[in-house]
Structure 1
Amino acid sequence: MNYQAFAALYDTLMADAPYDKWIDYMQKQLYKSNLLGSRVLDVGCGTGELLVRLNDFGAEVVGVDLSAEMLAIAKEKCEKAGFSPLLIQQSMTDLEGLGQFDVVTVFCDSLNYLETEQEVVDTFQCLFEHMKEGAVLLFDVHSVSKIEEGFIGHTFAEDAGEIAYIWTSFKGDHLFSVEHELTFFVQNELNYYERMLELHKQRTYPVDQYKQWLVEAGFCDISIQADFTSEYPTNKSERIFFCAKKNRGI
C-alpha cells in the first residue's frame, strides 16, 4: 500500500482524535499562555497532526516515529502548512543525537505499543537524557480498566464510505495487554475494495508502576490526571495523563 493510501486510512480513522485537547492539556501543564519559543520533541508523531498545531503556537518542533511511512506523510503535511521540521525515524527506546528539549510529548497512547517493561524503562531514561534542566515530559497511556474492560472481548466496526473496518480485541500474552486484530476494506481507483489485515499489540501498567519508573529515571514533581480533566484517575478512567519534570527548577 502506498503512503498516500495509508494517510487517507490513518487520518480517516483518527478524524475524531482530540488533538486540540492535547494542546490544551500541554498549555495548562506548562503554566504558559502559549508555547512560543519552546523546543518540543513529539515522540510517536505519526502523520504530524500535533506537529502542525504546535508550530502554529510558535514552538520549534522535532518529530520522531518508528514508521518511515508515517514520517513521509508528516513531512508532506508540515510542508503544506508552511514549515519543514526535523523528522527522524527512531525507536523511542533508543533515541540518540536529537539534542535537548524544553518539552517532550508522547501522546495518543504511543507508549502502550512498547512490548516489555524494560522498553518503558529505557524510554523514560532516553527521554530524560534529551531534556534540558527544568524541562517537562507529558504523556498519556490507556488505563488498566480501558484495556481490560473497554477493549478485550469487544468488536468495533465502521463504514466510512471509501474505508471500512472491523476491529476485534483479544486478551494479550501479558497482564493488562491486548491484541487488536484489524481488517480494513479500502476502495481503490478501480472502485474495488482491497482487504488489508493488521495486528496491533498494546500493553499498560498500573499508575503507581509508571510513577515508580519515572522516579527511577530521575523525574520529579509528577502530576497525574485522567481523561483531559484535572481529576486524579479512578477505576473508571480511560486515559491517564502524566506530567513529570527533570528537576524542580521550572
Structure 2
Amino acid sequence: MIDLHLIGIGTGNPDHLTAEAVRAMNDADLILLPRKGRAKSDLIDLRCAICAAVLSGPARIVEFDLPVRDADAVYLDAVNDWHEAIAAAWAAQIALHLPDGGRLALLVWGDPSLYDSSLRIAGRLKRGGMRIRVRAVPGITSIQALTAAHAVPLNRLAGPVTITTGRMLRAHGWPEGADTVVVMLDSGCAFEVLEPGRTTIWWGAYLGMAQEALERGPLAETGPRIAARRAELRARHGWIMDVYLMRREKIDGN
C-alpha cells in the first residue's frame, strides 16, 4: 500500500508551509521532486531549499524528469496524454524506490485542489490498479499570497469572486455578471483583450520569492506596464508564475 500525501507548499517561501505540511514531509519515506528542464531549474531548487529548511526525518529525496506536454496538440487531448505520462512516471519511481509500499510525498505549488492536477493524476494510479491512499494537505494559494502582498480583500463586502484562467479570459472576455475576477495560468497577458473601462488590476509574479514583483492600478495604465515587466522578467529568469485580480468599479463608486 502506498500512502500518497499531496502537500501544498505555497508559492515557494518556506514560511508559507503549514505545521501539517511540515509533519507530512517528515513522516514520508520518499519525497519525489520533478525536474522541468534547465530553463525552470529554479523551481526544483526552491523545492530542495524547502526540504532543507524543514526536514529532520529520514525521508529520501529523489529527483525525476517530468514529461513535457505537447504544445502543438489540441489542448485537452494534450493535457490528458500528459497526465497519463506523469502517472506512468510516478508509477515507475514508486516501483523503483517503494517496491514494498510506504509513505510518499509530492510537493505541490499552492494547494492541490486549485488549478493543479495532482489529485487527478493520483486517480489514474488508482484506476490502474495501484493500491494507494491519497491525502491532500492544504497550502497557501497564489491568490492568498497575491491579496496579502497587496493588502487588499479578495471580494467586495458580501460579493462573489470568479476564478478563471488566461485561456478562458482570452476566449470569452470578462465573465458575464462577474464583479471581481481572479485570473490564473495566464501564459501571456490575457487582460489585453478587455476594454479597460473602470477596472483596477492587482498583479503579482514570483509571489513569496526573493524576486517577487507587484503592480497595481487602473487597467488602462497598469496593463501595458505589467506586459512590459512580465516580458522582461520571463527573459531574465527563463520562466514566470503570476496571477492577478481585477475588479470593476460600480456605478455608485463602491
TM-score (normalizing by structure 2): 0.34
Q: Please identify the structure whose Cα radius of gyration is greater.
A: 2
TM-score (normalizing by structure 1): 0.34
- Greater helix fraction, Structure 1 or Structure 2: 2
